[in-house]
Structure 1
Amino acid sequence: MYLSRRLLALPLGLAATAAIGLAPGAAATGGTPGPAAAPGDPLSYVVNSATDAATLDRVEAATADAGGTVVATYPKIGVTVAHAADTDFGSRLRAVPGVRSAGATRTAPLRSTAAAPEEGRFRAYEDRGAAGAVTPRTGAGAGAIPPEPEPLEAEQWSLRVVRADRAHALSTGSPDVTVGVIDNGVDDTHPDLAANFSAGQSADCVGGAADTSPGSWRPYPEGDFAGHGTWVAGQIAAPRNGLGVAGVAPDVTIAAIKAAGPGDGFVYAESVVCALVFAADQGMAIANSSFSIDPWHFVCADDPDQRAILDAVSRAQRYATGRGLLQIAAAGNGSRDLADPAFTDAESPSDGTPAERTVDPAACPVLPHMLPGVVSAASVGAENLKSDHSDYGLGVIDIAAPGGDDYQIPDTPSRDPYVLSTWPGGEYASGPGTSAATAQVSGVAALLKSAHPGASPAKLRALLAAHADNPGCPDAYDPDGDGAENAVCEGDDRRNGFYGAGIADALDAVRR
């Protein structure tokens, strides 16, 4: 998850023939031998099979025979999550009639906290609004009257880039629209989030089974990135209540689905399967996925474990889309061209010892932002130029939104180039990354869903693209001014590798 390794943007994707997400005709490259855990160490597995009861029963029986334990079964998509210490567990389950793929979702043993959260780049802010001494306001039904600014809104240059500040005079979104924040938890007690939070649609999916007990969705109290999900949630739907900041869609509902584990902050496939199925079954309209799935940054189907990950997450994504859920995911913060057919992946496995391998992203996608039907969000800074950290690629990026950039300084009181939002404990903080861009796009999508309640995920994708503003490729991309191009933009002002269809526009989204 980018909150533990790639600054807080959480990058994410996939596409395949039928079951597993490979681009048609593409050959997977870069497979790596199976789990690196020592013999006897328990691992988590996904087993993907036919959905009939007889096959699912065979999977359960074979799991027990191999000394494993079933953690959760998702019969509608044929995915079983299991724990097992037998190093042959994957191959034994692949031999079961009706099983399409099976493999370990990690290389480190369960409950590993070997990777400590890295230092982030968040900056603290003091809320200049006085809680308890204000009259809450929502701006709903304000017509053409601009809403009164929130106390910290002068610092929110990101709202002005997507023109959400102007959009709020026309629409602040509908509480009937729920955005699920799939992340490392949300502090629903924050006074600038509580009014819009849905506890009844929230859960902890870490490990692959949904825990809906009260407070289970809250962040773990550790690490510099512990507030990542809360930071994301505020960008989407912090209400106009006279406190702190405003979200892009300040009257929509937010829910939390915790998917990042404690200590290491990793997001494994079984947690994402659980989160997408849970979000879809709870009737959510949008899932904000500001992360990438561990431990393989690029997931290649020529390896049986990685193939199982592709298969499981693809099934969950297709199910969620069929239930009306649009997933919006971060493109990543590595300044990488994801359209490069000979990409060097030096980050995988993230929970073990990385080894360099050459991959073709068309065959080895980044999950979840390269999945079919997922909106891939890149990042821009205050000058509407691609953020230096943002990944890019023609045909990979769908849309862009503010994520901050050290080289693009906004005209705000603090001149802070990062994105300001809520933080646990009633605090506020700013940070950079495509995680922020994803949240901004999710907010615009929530405004669109509010205006078009019957819109399908495909229609919302089309509307996001149609209303985006594309600056086109720059003549030369040299944000640090050293005379050398940092990246090459391919495409035109209709669609290109830096911005996809363009920068998300909330004002056009609500007035057209």
Structure 2
Amino acid sequence: MMLARTEEDLLNTRGHLIRAAVSIALVGAAGCSAATAGSGVPGPAATVPASPSASASGPAPKGQSTGRYLVFYAEGKREAALKAVQDAGGELDGGDERLGYLIARIGDPERVGADPSVVGVTPDRPIGMASSALAARRAPAPAPAGHRPGVLPSGGQGPVKPEPLAHLQWDMEMIGATATGSYAKARGKRSVLVGVIDTGIDATHPDIAPNFNKELSRSFLPAGVSSAADGHRGKDCGRTGCAEYAGVDGEGHGTHVASTIGSPINGLGIAGVAPDVSLVDLRAGTDEGLFFLKPTMDALAYAADVGIDVVNMSFFVDPWQFNCTDNPEDSPAERLDQRGIIEGMRRAVDYARRHGVTLITAIGNTGIDLGRPERDGMSPNYPKGAAKVRRIDNSCITVPTELDGVISVTAVGPSGNKAGYSDYGLEQADIAAPGGDLFDTASPIVGVRRGILAAAPESVLRAARRIDDKGNPRDASVVRDCRGGTCAYYRYLEGTSMAAPHVTGVAAIIIGRFGVPGKGGLTMDPAEVERLLYASAMPKACPAAGGSGSGGRADQVCEGGKRKNGFFGHGIVNADRAAVISR
């Protein structure tokens, strides 16, 4: 589930995660087919070929081999797990030895899960792709070669002019990503590969195209389906991904995230935190904004294999907001499902980190202390109508937010106060960044401009009727900038989804400064990137008397000191300081 918020959410259901990310004014992923031949991208090693099959939306009835599952086995127990599948009447349908799981058609997942060799059994849920309305836009136009006129050479330093809409980017001013700040010192490099696991990136957007890396971009959604409800029909993109539909974003969330990270300095619209990096589309989110386990794991493993330097993850893995390994209020099959999600993502995260990928995620938008959760009323969020209210405790975790090795980002509004919707926690919060906050009355900024402005696909805005037939925005939530016959669109969003890419951009600046030649371009130890992120952040203490979030959220209590606390982690990320920090 994507972690951005709508105006309706703000006004009516403040504090709860939403199911889809749209603009503050209620502005409304594509799939894939066979990978491009001869791409030169290395394929996965030690994988088991998988054949297409029907997908399960939940545990299959006992005795009916209609469900497709991911069966995670303990280290060295593959053969024992395979025997457990076969003994239960199941059929092997693939797998991945590096992440330690089988893909199998199983009629009795509980029987398989009871075997001591098995640590989790998770349905391989249906995955969506571009709707039929987007069919004509599946193959994006080629991105322009290099930077647009007026852009300094990649990795260069020196004075630059502010972008035309820079005056609307309070977020960049807050973190020092300005013409007189980090842009004049370090802006990342073309050899820094930034992966965006999201709903896609609009590669044709004029303020993204110059930095879009078409060669490495992939979709990890199976081909031939139009929505999550349709199920699998066609090629499973698997660990190598499908290239054909990369560069398309039918929802807009991923485009906004990518723009905040790396929109170029080109005399049009805005600039991102690291305007000279390469943006790689790692599509794993459905049209509905759902992120299921297998495509998310596939995207992370692919990022590791091809040398991606840093990955942004502004979502949690569906369908469980909180994953509990042994909650008595869940059925045995549900417990197996959640164990599989935790274990599968833990293995994918570990694999990526071992291969030099720095991992950054949005912490979440429920406005709660993740160290003291008590209730989950929105899980499972798929299929529709399956959610139930259940009691939970701190043994239950959000994924990937609470996994070791992942940098979790809280959100602040334009005043620098923690946004009331942002989750927090002394253990869970690592760093803070601008995410926007419509209720931040401590700021002189008013209205929708309290959100984060970044790129929006024109097609999404037209479909949602946020622009008229002549291309004019219908309200203040959408901004258009036209220069030299080229027009580009931008929209305001808020959420921890918007905070995380600011940190990802600063990580890219650090890698551009200190990375060494490696697979894909540069490489740098994720632990060292993390250390410099925290060292260059601006420390921020808890509000007085323990403090509360914005918007009168007195129920939110900040714990910890100035150097590390539950609202701001190690402080608010700072691009200008990262551009000059020494190791």
Contact 1:287/1:328 (8 A) holds in 2 = yes
Matched ranges for 1:305-344 at <5 A: 305-340=337-372, 342-344=373-375
Q: Which amino acid aligns with 2:551?
A: D
Give the aligned partner of residue 431 of structure 1: 493
Contact 2:435/2:499 (8 A) holds in 1 = yes
Give yes or no for the alignment of 1:511 onto 2:573: no
In structure 1, what is the Cα distance between the partners aligned to 2:577 and 2:217?
A: 31
Change in CA separation of 1:400 and 1:139 when aligned onto 2, cut-off 3 Å:
farther
1:100 to 96, 101, 118: 118
Q: Which amino acid aligns with 2:2?
A: Y
Number of paired residues?
450
In structure 1, what is the Cα distance between the partners aligned to 2:87 and 2:190?
A: 45
Change in CA separation of 1:384 and 1:268 when aligned onto 2, cut-off 3 Å:
same
Contact 2:99/2:347 (8 A) holds in 1 = yes
Give yes or no for the alignment of 1:77 onto 2:99: yes
Change in CA separation of 1:210 and 1:138 when aligned onto 2, cut-off 3 Å:
farther
1:396-440 deviation line (CA, Å, top 9, x unaligned): 100000100012366669871110111123421110000011110
Give the aligned partner of residue 355 of structure 1: 388
In structure 2, what is the Cα distance between the partners aligned to 1:6 and 1:474?
A: 31
Change in CA separation of 1:238 and 1:63 when aligned onto 2, cut-off 3 Å:
farther
Over the aligned positions, Cα root-mean-square deviation in angstroms equals 2.9
Q: Which stretch shows the higher mean deviation, 495-504 or 469-478?
A: 469-478
Give the aligned partner of residue 228 of structure 1: 253
Q: Which amino acid aligns with 2:492?
A: S
Q: Which amino acid aligns with 2:438?
A: D
In structure 1, what is the Cα distance between the partners aligned to 2:59 and 2:382?
A: 10
Change in CA separation of 1:64 and 1:150 when aligned onto 2, cut-off 3 Å:
farther
Change in CA separation of 1:305 and 1:429 when aligned onto 2, cut-off 3 Å:
same
1:181-202 deviation line (CA, Å, top 9, x unaligned): 0011111121111111112222
1:394 to 401, 422, 426: 426
Contact 1:404/1:419 (8 A) holds in 2 = yes
Shift in Å, 1:451: 1.1
Change in CA separation of 1:311 and 1:415 when aligned onto 2, cut-off 3 Å:
closer
Identity of aligned residues (%): 34
Give the aligned partner of residue 140 of structure 2: none
Q: Which stretch shows the higher mean deviation, 325-334 or 201-210?
A: 201-210
Give the aligned partner of residue 23 of structure 1: none
Give yes or no for the alignment of 1:444 onto 2:458: no
Shift in Å, 1:143: 3.6
1:34-70 deviation line (CA, Å, top 9, x unaligned): 9466676954422223576x93697399469845462
Give the aligned partner of residue 59 of structure 1: 82
In structure 2, what is the Cα distance between the partners aligned to 1:351 and 1:415?
A: 31
Contact 2:203/2:248 (8 A) holds in 1 = no
TM-score for both structures, normalised by structure 1: 0.81
Change in CA separation of 1:142 and 1:73 when aligned onto 2, cut-off 3 Å:
same
User: Could you list the runs of 5+ residues in structure 2 that have no partner in the other structure?
Assistant: 5-17, 23-56, 130-147, 223-236, 327-334, 459-487, 517-523
In structure 2, what is the Cα distance between the partners aligned to 1:478 and 1:300?
A: 27
Change in CA separation of 1:448 and 1:430 when aligned onto 2, cut-off 3 Å:
same
Change in CA separation of 1:447 and 1:42 when aligned onto 2, cut-off 3 Å:
farther
Give yes or no for the alignment of 1:196 onto 2:267: no
User: Could you list the runs of 5+ residues in structure 1 that have no partner in the other structure?
Assistant: 10-33, 114-133
Shift in Å, 1:104: 2.2
Matched ranges for 1:177-196 at <5 A: 177-196=192-211
In structure 1, what is the Cα distance between the partners aligned to 2:101 and 2:309?
A: 23
Contact 1:8/1:432 (8 A) holds in 2 = no
1:346 to 368, 377, 383: 377
Matched ranges for 1:413-432 at <5 A: 416-425=449-458, 426-432=488-494
2:283 to 253, 258, 267: 258
1:282-303 deviation line (CA, Å, top 9, x unaligned): 1001110000011111111222
In structure 2, what is the Cα distance between the partners aligned to 1:220 and 1:135?
A: 26
TM-score for both structures, normalised by structure 2: 0.71
Higher relative contact order (CA 8 A, sep 6+): 1
In structure 1, what is the Cα distance between the partners aligned to 2:369 and 2:85?
A: 42
